[in-house]
Amino acid sequence: MLSNLGILFTIGTLFTSLFIIFFTFKEFKVVNNLIPSKIYKFTLFQLFFSISSFFVLLLAYILSDFSLVNVYENSHSNKPLFYKISGTWGNHEGSLLLWINILVLFSSLFLFLTKNNDKSFKILTLLFQNLLIATFLIFLLTNSNPFSGLFPVPLEGLGLNPILQDPALAIHPPLLYVGFVGSSIYFSAALAALISKIDSQSFAVSIKSWVLVSWFFQTVGILVGSIWAYYELGWGGYWFWDPVENSSLMPWFVMTALLHSILVLERRIGLFSWVIVLSILTFTMSVTGTFLVRSGILNSVHTFASDPSRGLFILSFLVLMVFSSIFIFFKFSPKEDKKYSIFSKEAFIIANNWFMIFFLGVVLIGTLYPVLLDTITGSKISVGPPYYNLILAPFLIPLLFLMTSGPNYKWISNEIRSLFNLVLVLSVTLFLITFFFIKEKNFLINLILFFSIYLITQTLFDFYESFKKKNINISRIISHLGFGLLIFFIYINHIFSVENNFNLKLGETKKTEYYSIKFVNLEEQSIKNYKSIIGYFNVTNKKNFTSKELKPEIRVYDKPFTITYEASINSNLFSDTYLTMSNISDTDVFNIKFQVKPFMNLIWLSVLLLSLGGVLNFFKRKKI
C-alpha cells in the first residue's frame, strides 16, 4: 500500500516537473510580463506531490513497514522513534528523496517569493531548476527507488548503523542538504541571468537571500557534524580533514566568497561575471561532494553508498552540468572591463575571494589526489592534517589582515589609511600578555594568534564606532568577530591540548605529569536496542587536587551487530576532560585514551557567532 502510494506521488512529482519545463520553455518566447497562472498551479501540485512522497516514506519508517526494502535495510521495530524518523534520510535512497524535496521547495519559494519583475529571468530560473529536479527524479525511480517493495514481508528489519543513531547526526544531513541543495537555486538563477540579460544589481538583490540561507545552514550543518565527530567517534577533535568533512567544506568556501562578491555587485560596482562563476561553482562543488560520498570511492565513517552505478550517474550528471554551464557562460556572458582602486573596499573583497578559492583548491587537491593515485597506480595514501596545516596556516595571516583592514576602507576610493593606530597598539599589548602566559615558541602560530587578536580588537572597535554613529553593520561585525575568536581558540586549543594513551586493568591507576586516572569500576547495562559496558574512572588534577568522575561506554548493538566506543566528557566553559576506553580482545585489559581539550565550547560558540551574522544579514536584506 505505502509502496504504491509513494511511487505514485513520486511519478506525480516527475510529471509536474516535465509540465513546468514544457510551459516555461514555451512561455519564454511569449513577449509580455505576466507568468501564467498554470505555472503557479503546477508548481503547487509539484510541491504537494514531492512532500507527500517524503511523508509516505517517513510513515513507513514510523510504522516499521518492512514491505519496503529501504525500511527493512535501515530500521528495526525496537528502534527509538526518533531514530526511526532520522532513518528516513540516513541512507542513500531516503537522502536522495530529501535532496529532491529541497530542490522542489527552493524552486517553489523562488517563484512565489521573488519580487523581481523580470519575467524571462524568473521563467528561465524555474526551467533550469526543474531540469535538475526531473533528472534526479528519473535517477531515483530507475536506480534508487526508496519505495521498492519486498515479498514475502520479513518480520523484522536489519536496523540502522549504530554510529548514525545519535541526535546530532540525525539533524546533520538535513541541515547540510539545505546548504548543499539550496545552492541549486542560484545556480539556476545564474544561468537564467546570463540568457535573460537581467541587470547585474537586480540579479545580486534577487539571489542574496538565497545565498545567505544556504550559507547559514551549511555553516550550522558543518558545526553539528563536527560536534558529533568530537563526542561520538572517540577521536577527541573538532576537525580531522576526513574526505567527507571536506566535501561539505568545499562549497562553504565558495558560498563565503559569493556572499562577499554580492556586496560589490549590488552596488553596481561590477563583478557580474565573477558572481555568475561563483554561483555555478558553488552547486558544482555540492554535486562533487555528493559524488564523492555516494560513489563509494572515499573511505569514511559516514559515506552512504558504494554502488558504482550511482557514482557513475552523478559523475555523468556533473560533467554534463559543468560543460553546459561553461557553454552558456561563454555564449552569453557580457564583457566587463572594471578596474578597482587598490585601497578600496571592493579590492579587499576581491582579495578575500581569491583566498577562499585558494583554500578550496588546497582542500580539493587533498581530497581527490589519493583517489586519483589509487585509480592510476593502485597505491593507497591518506592526506591528513600535516598537509593542510602546512599549506593553509600561513595563508590565514593575510586573510585575517584583510578581514581586519578591509571593512574600514571606502567603496570606489583610493584613500590610504594608516595602519598605526590605537587598535594596533592595543592588539600588540594583548598579544604580548597572551604570549607571556602561553610561551609558544612556534613563530607561525604566534603570528596567527596576533592577527586573530588584531581582528577581534578591530571588530570590537568597529562596533563601538558604529554604535556612536548609529550605523551599525551588526551582521558583518558578529561574523568577523566569530571568525577571529574561532581561529584564536583553535590555536590555543592546539597549544594546550593534552593526550595520553595507555592500558589499564580494573583497579589500576595511571599517573601522568598533571593527572592521576584510576579505573574504579565496571558495569553492564541492557538498553532497548543495545548493551552497554560502562567504565567508572576517577580523574584527579594534581595541580588543584580536583577530581572528576568519567564514565565511558562500550556499546554492543545487535541490529546490525556493531561495537561503538562512547566518549565520556566532563565539560565546562574553559576545558573538556575527555576519556574513551576499548577492550583488548580476550583479556581484562582496556586501552584508555585520555585527553584534556581547552576551550572546546568556545570554539563551538565562535562558529555560532559566525553563523548568527548571516542570520542578521538576512533580516536586514533588501526586498527581493
Is pLDDT of 261 > 70?
A: yes
pLDDT at 440: 87
Residues 597-614 have a mean pLDDT of 93
Q: What percent of the chain has pLDDT over 90?
A: 56
Lowest mean pLDDT among 84-88, 255-259, 299-303, 501-505: 299-303
- pTM of the predicted protein model: 0.91
Cβ proximity of 271 and 264 under 8 Å: yes
pLDDT tens sequence across 59-75: 999 999 999 999 998 88
- Let me know: does 450 contact 458? Beta carbons within 8 Å: no
Ranking 70-74, 222-226, 337-341 by mean pLDDT, the lowest is 337-341
Q: What is the pLDDT of residues 450-504, one digit of tens each?
A: 999 999 999 999 888 877 776 677 888 999 999 999 999 999 999 999 999 999 9
The arithmetic mean of pLDDT across residues 404-412, rounded, is 78
Region 51-63 average pLDDT: 95
Cell of 346: 571592493
More confident residue, 343 or 21: 21
Q: Is the pLDDT of residue 415 over 70?
A: no
191: nearest Cα among 134, 122, 118: 122
C-alpha cell, 561: 551487530
pLDDT of residue 503: 93
* pLDDT tens-place string over residues 24-50: 999 887 877 788 999 999 999 999 999
Measured CA to CA, the distance from residue 149 to residue 570 in angstroms comes to 47
Lowest mean pLDDT among 55-59, 182-186, 416-420: 416-420
DSSP 567: -
pLDDT at 400 over 90: yes
Q: H/E/C letters for each residue in 263-286?
A: HHHCCCCCCHHHHHHHHHHHHHHH
Residue 610: CB atoms within 10 A of its CB come to: 23
According to the per-residue pLDDT averaged within each range, which of 239-248, 385-394, 481-490 is highest?
Answer: 481-490
Among candidates 321, 319, 315, 318, which has minimal Cα distance to 297?
Answer: 315
